[in-house]
Structure 1
Amino acid sequence: MHCRHCGAEIPEDASFCPNCGQAVSTPVEQNPSAAEIHHGGTRRFLPVLVAVAIFLAVAMIIGMEFEGTLLILAFAFCVYALVIKPRTLARRVKKRLVEGTAIPNQIEYSTISSILRDEPYSDKVIIKSEGLMETETGQQIGFVEAAIKGGVQFKLKLVPDSTNTLKLVLEGSSTSKWELEGGFQVAKDYLEADELYQSILHKLLPDYVEQRTQDEREVKKTKTYRRVATAMIVAFVGYVIVATLVPSLIRNPVSDLQDIVFEDYGTMTLGEAVDSTVENARWSSEKVDNTHYLVTLSGFQPDLFAKFEATFDVEYTDDYVYASISSVTYNGETYMDIFSLAIVLGAIYGS
């Protein structure tokens, strides 16, 4: 019989290749193929797509505004990308690797020690202790406690399960990268373990390479989702700041009032009319609130034969600036009636 990994001849009853250390039995039957994994990933997204389609349909039926619908969907995506998906990934990695629910493997107890004593591990790994432990139910567990020189400390245990199949369990010491830090960090540390540690796991777990590839794909996807969600939040916060704070900071009610055309009095802007008919014109403004200002125009108007003062209300909306004259004062009297306001505004426009 020949090894399917390196081609070396191996004994018929061997569980591992003496040349490369890979398992003789193929794990392909126990694991889904790449096509099946991809298909499974597609199926996982199907409920999400259906839920989004139903939500959009309901939103259209009840007449929800398009912007509000997008905002709700964006919020739901951010919660999924920043909270749900990282926690789900970390919980799965923790359950499989830290709590000892890795894929069962037919491994002889002596295999662990022999692999660690062979090249290239013999110069890099210290075997601290090995032997047997008993559980509370009396089951014996074989273990090898070792440490990569200058690096990660770990314990490899073979635990019999209910079907008498040995299950490989990996445990890290309190100072190793296997110590749980919560959330996304569990998966991150697992994937960034030392190369030597990964190499040992490759030999002990034939399915590890494929599983690690899946995990790397999930971590990359999770990171991408996090970046997109973070960018969406930053963009939204930036939009709120620009939409609410910046306009109030750059508003110039005097200049905006001067650019307004009172159509009943011609096509000139108010500023052009004042320049042509008012002597010693002076402008001032007073803020009432974020969208309301009072602008005062004073000067001498020859047609009125008097100094005058006119107060305008300037109102800001999202898209427009509205203005109206609210009071005038000349000859020592203040007027607010429509007739007096029209006389002063007509004099300013020279009509």
Structure 2
Amino acid sequence: MEAGDGEISYLASNTLEVYLGTPERPLEIPQALKQIRQLSESTVLTARIVLGLWNIRRHNDRVSKNGSVAILLEEILQWQGVQKHSRVAHPGTNKRYTDGYRTEQKQRVLQDLALLASCNVRGNCTITVKGKSVSIQVDGPYMRYSVVSRKTLLNERIIVGFLVSPGDWISTYEQHQNYYLAEVDSQIFKLNPQNDRYALRVALYLTERWREQAKQGDFSTPIMMSELLAASMIEVDERHMTSRFVPRIEASLEKLEAMGIIGKQLCMTDVDRNQTRWSKDWLASRWEILPPLKLIQEYQAMNNPLRKRVRNKTRTREREQTQ
């Protein structure tokens, strides 16, 4: 995190510099520090979930309008793995009923979106213009959203959901046909947010990582397991490390591979599990986690000018046929 010229900023996981406030009137450092402290695990997960849902819904006219997509408030909580509050039906029984999410849980989502909307993304992107690489600077809000609500019979306002879209930074990529920000595979949102909690968090992070790796086409760069877990917002369970935590993480990676979300996952470090404290070596182990082969080929086609033109013509014909 760096401070200077009246601004305060930090590097997000996608290496873009994120600062709070506006380019013309950045927030004062005390206020910015206060907001940065609120950029918690919940905020990061909300950002990834919302952008993922936007990616798979933006071309669906039933749930999209003017570049924004409709997302229910309860959807965000569901994909975060938050459980609804439940009560015992009556004394002396094990039967329970749910009365929905708590008010503070809903308020947390509103706070997350407000923080994300207050963040401005600043960074250099490489685009291709007439066959030449050109560096441009992206400067603007990270996310935009509108609140969708309804009124009850008692004239109370209840928030139902949001109309959400990324800031113009994502359009800048697409206008120049550099689709480095790939659509999140709809397979990810077929996972169960409760039973597949680890797999979901890893998958959301990996798609973010692959989008950035696509700039260099270097998907094979290994990642340390401890870094993967931290970036995926997964807390290490020290007490049940070898008996439960490690098997669950590895099972999650295997499931993602079986579903086609991951193309290949391989531990490149020899971890001797006969040692007493092998869990430390496992956390330090390096893993190669590749996207699906089809996705790699898509990126290669995007970066090939000739194949890119053919691909665009094919897409145009497909759109004309569906109209």
TM-score, structure 1 normalization: 0.24
The structure whose RCO (Cα within 8 Å, separation 6+) is larger is 2
TM-score, structure 2 normalization: 0.25
